[in-house]
Amino acid sequence: MKNNRILTIFLIVFVDLLGFSLILPLLPYYAEQYGANNIVVGLLVASYAAAQMFGAPLLGRLSDQYGRRPVLLVSILGTAVGFFLLAIAEPLGAAIGSTIGSGIAAINLAVLSILFFSRILDGLTGGNISVAQAYIADVTLPQDRAKSFGLIGAAFGLGFIIGPALGGFLSTYGYAVPAYAALTLSMINLVAVYLWLPESVTPERRAEMTHRPRPSLNASSLLETLRRPRVGPLFHVRFFFGLAFSMFQTIFVLYAAGAPLNLSVQNTAYVLTYVGMLSVFVQGFAIGKLNKRYSEKQLMLVSAMLMAVSLFLWGIAPNLITLLIVMAPLSFSGGVLNTVINSALSKSVYPEEIGGTLGISASLESLTRVISPIVGGILLQYFGALGPAVFSGVLMVWVSSFIWRRFFVSPDPPLEPRSEVPAGFPMSASL
């Protein structure tokens, strides 16, 4: 039964990310058709991550209060509406534009406004991967959690491998076609959750938690989570690791197009597919075996150190062959860190707080995807590949030092005053 639930969540995340990645590479071209310049395109792409930064913690905390299944249903429905608006942006924008003005400028403004609204709506409701991770935490034992979280990461990677290629093919029939395909996938997901995914927070467990007050949904409650002695350090690692890794991810296309690689669009896509396949292998297969042999704090430290070295080497890679070699440890360390951090977070809080905590983790990750393209682009412009590589490498040296000092040298902090650990959820086993 548990394995069936994990498989269902795997498929849900895969289909969700497949729909998202179908339209992601096409958005700049879609927007440029209606007069968007580079700044507007950048804001359009960033609007999703910015909205997700606010939506993910809220969805996670709502799932703690009302259950994972209803929040997944509502969030998938919101994503479907966002894709539908994207698909009809052209005719709807033309109709709205003709009522507010008589020229092409009015129509362009209306279409771009719809594009922005669709991406913001999808971002607010599309942070449901934290809810999926919380579901996994509900139905797995702590010692199996990293492996199961790795499968979620593998589904994420598979969606990004297949989606852009499929979206590019469908776009030859018009930019609305990939959006309709993404809408169809979202509706399939909605039906799958409704028919085949039972609620993970059982009535029995909900009754066990009634004697403890539920976390509120206000900002002060979320900020209080950041200050916890067991959770705060993990968020620290999440943010600075995410800043370093997403800088590599978000500026790679610009980096690959320039010297010394001078890759074509097609060859860049092949390289990104290679990275995606490495990530799927690490999170889908390797992480389970590693977690059986090493503790989570050991995996975090070694992965952070390996990523620091890999990022420095990225900056001085003289050719494509060298870069492909460097990408192997870079993808390995990124996949391990991403999985282990969330696994440790899920074991550092109460069951009724897992969704909100993982939502904050997703929010921090979204924030790094807003910051990294800006900082990375400036560094790439003035210093070449060496700029973002050194900056990211130094960040990971700091992360490695922090992990060593916080998780190996310092003693474990005391439990929170209200923390009386329920059976089967040992907070002391988080690392």
| The domains spanning 1-197 and 219-411 adopt the same CATH topology | yes
> What pLDDT shows up at residue 312?
95
The residue with greater pLDDT, 327 or 126, is 327
Tell me: pLDDT of 418 over 80.
no
Q: How far apart are CA 279 and CA 156, in angstroms?
A: 9
| Confidence label for 429 from pLDDT (cuts 50, 70 and 90) | very low
| pLDDT, average across residues 57-80 | 88
The separation between the first and the last C-alpha atoms of the chain, rounded to the nearest angstrom, is 28
Q: Which two tokens stand for residue 162?
A: 């297949």
Question: Which range, of 36-45, 190-199, 332-341, averages the lowest pLDDT?
Answer: 36-45
| Structural domain boundaries in the chain | 1-197, 219-411
Placement of tokens 């192997």 in the chain? 328
Calculate the CA 410 to chain-centre distance.
30
| Confidence label for 421 from pLDDT (cuts 50, 70 and 90) | very low
H helix intervals, 126-264: 129-139, 145-170, 176-196, 203-208, 219-226, 232-257
> What pLDDT shows up at residue 424?
35
Reduce the DSSP state of residue 34 to 3 states and report it.
coil
| pLDDT, average across residues 246-252 | 84
Q: How far apart are CA 306 and CA 336, in angstroms?
A: 11
Tell me: pLDDT of 205 over 80.
no
Predicted confidence (pLDDT) per residue in 28-66, tens digit: 778 888 888 877 877 887 788 788 888 888 888 888 888
> What pLDDT shows up at residue 413?
62
Question: Which range, of 138-152, 230-244, 316-330, averages the lowest pLDDT?
Answer: 138-152
Tell me: pLDDT of 326 over 90.
yes
Q: How far apart are CA 420 and CA 428, in angstroms?
A: 11
Q: How far apart are CA 174 and CA 218, in angstroms?
A: 43
Q: Which CATH number fits domain 219-411: 1.25.40.80, 1.20.1250.20, 3.30.70.100, 1.10.1040.10?
A: 1.20.1250.20
- b/e per residue, 229-264, with b = 16+ CB within 10 A? ebbebbbbbbbbbbbbbbbbbbbbebbbeeeebebe
Tell me: pLDDT of 149 over 50.
yes
Evaluate the omega torsion of the peptide bond into residue 260 and state whether it is cis, within 30 degrees of 0.
yes
Question: Which range, of 170-179, 257-266, 303-312, 393-402, averages the lowest pLDDT?
Answer: 257-266
The answer to whether the CB of 159 falls within 8 A of the CB of 150 is: no
Residue 53 amino acid letter? M
| pLDDT, average across residues 100-127 | 85
Q: How far apart are CA 345 and CA 353, in angstroms?
A: 10
Tell me: pLDDT of 213 over 60.
no
| pLDDT, average across residues 385-407 | 94
| pLDDT, average across residues 188-193 | 90
The secondary structure of 295-359 as a DSSP string is -HHHHHHHHHHHHHHHHHHHHT--SHHHHHHHHHHHHHHHHHHHHHHHHHHHTSS-GGGHHHHHH
Task: Report the candidate in 302, 320, 300, 307 with the shortest Cα–Cα distance to residue 252.
Answer: 320
> What pLDDT shows up at residue 427?
39
The CATH class of the 1-197 domain is mainly alpha
Q: Identify the DSSP state of 411.
A: P
Question: Which range, of 106-115, 241-250, 264-273, averages the lowest pLDDT?
Answer: 264-273
Residue 223 amino acid letter? L
| pLDDT, average across residues 274-290 | 85
Question: Which range, of 7-21, 102-116, 334-348, averages the lowest pLDDT?
Answer: 7-21
Q: What percent of the chain has pLDDT over 90?
A: 25
CA distances for 415 relative to 17, 279, 357, 428, angstroms? 37, 35, 16, 9
Tell me: pLDDT of 419 over 60.
no
Tell me: pLDDT of 189 over 50.
yes
Predicted confidence (pLDDT) per residue in 287-314, tens digit: 888 988 999 999 999 999 999 999 999 9
Maximum distance among all Cα pairs of the chain, rounded to whole angstroms:
69
The residue with greater pLDDT, 25 or 131, is 131
> What pLDDT shows up at residue 426?
37
